[in-house]
Amino acid sequence: MTFSIVGRSADGQAFGVAVASKFLAVGAAVPAAEAGTGAIATQSYANLAYRPDGIALLRSGQSAQATLEALTAADDGRETRQAGIVDATGAAATFTGTDCHPWAGGAAGPGYAVQGNILTGPDVVAEMERAWLATDAGEPLARRLLAALTAGDAAGGDRRGRQSAALLVVTPDGGYGGGSDVLVDLRIDDHPAPVPELVRLLDLHDLYFGKPDPATLVPLDGDLADEVRTLLARRGHTGDDLDTALGDWAGIENYEERLSPGKIDPLLLDKLRAPG
């Protein structure tokens, strides 16, 4: 009832899952991932126990294939299930039971596993795999996963239609403020075009929670400091310390993850200069 991709970043730091389905809130059922451990997608009459049990097996050092074999061997309903796993080494495995609704199948390779059921045809999985392999390995994992999901959606996706989509990516200390490993956790629970909506939300996520490229940061001094001080004052943020005033504004606008003492992210400068 779903198509998904599990993947690992080329540097081995990030793991994630992207999924879409004609199913309410698919993100609450299919994906699981743990930093330093791996990622799992469980679908087609999903056995939700695959998520904690699979992560535990991966954490203990079991490979993706061994984990998948252990999960399905212990499951009397295995022939109705579908799952994909990638482990800490980047090895991946996919499983499709013989009783999954057609079309159903999957493909796996180094760092990824793609699978789907009740699809419009095998081209959905083929296009997802092609799109994944066509992405630059240095791109953020979230973008690579979403490129594959978008390709599957464009190829037809779930033959029943569209309803929900989700993206989960973990990496050490990748969460808001560095307080968790959850870098991205976005869910479209009920929407006529969930995959494009997921793309829109990832763009917003990168805007609000992305870290600035240190090479692009601009020193806050001279004429630029004066300009920024004036722009902030127009918005009601004044004070002798420019970093403090900028931080006050950024905190209200939810841009605090893009702050850097003594410098300014060009994206924040553009936002300050925009009318409004």
The domain ranges of the chain are 2-209, 214-273
List per-residue pLDDT tens for the chain, 276 residues long. 699 999 999 999 999 999 999 999 999 999 999 999 999 999 999 999 999 999 999 999 999 999 999 999 999 999 999 999 999 999 999 999 999 999 999 999 999 999 999 999 999 999 999 999 999 999 999 999 999 999 999 999 999 999 999 999 999 999 999 999 999 999 999 999 999 999 999 999 999 999 999 999 999 999 999 999 999 999 999 999 999 999 999 999 999 999 999 999 999 999 999 987
CA 253 from centroid of its chain's CA atoms:
23
Torsion angle of the four alpha carbons 110, 205, 207, 175, in this order, in degrees rounded to the nearest 10? -80
- Calpha distance 132→148 (Å, rounded): 5
CATH number of 2-209: 3.60.20.10
pTM: 0.94
In 62-208, DSSP assigns E strands to 82-87, 92-96, 105-109, 112-116, 164-170, 182-188
Q: How far is CA 83 from CA 31, 96, 103, 165, 234, in A?
A: 10, 7, 15, 17, 54
Q: What local confidence, expressed as pLDDT, does residue 1 receive? A: 65
53 Cβ neighbours under 8 A, 6+ residues apart: 71
What is the number of helices (H) and of strands (E) in the chain? 8, 12
What the block records as the tokens of 180 is 């968790």
- Calpha distance 80→27 (Å, rounded): 20
What the block records as the tokens of 39 is 């990622």
- Calpha distance 209→221 (Å, rounded): 25
Q: How far is CA 166 from CA 2, 20, 79, 245, 247, in A?
A: 11, 7, 25, 36, 32
99 Cβ neighbours under 8 A, 6+ residues apart: 79, 80
Which bin fits 122, alpha (ψ -120 to 50), beta or left (φ > 0)? alpha
CB contact at 8 A, 142 and 162: no
CB contact at 8 A, 149 and 162: no
89-110 in b/e form (b: 16+ CB < 10 A) is: ebbbbbbbbeebeebbbbbbee
- Calpha distance 13→196 (Å, rounded): 26
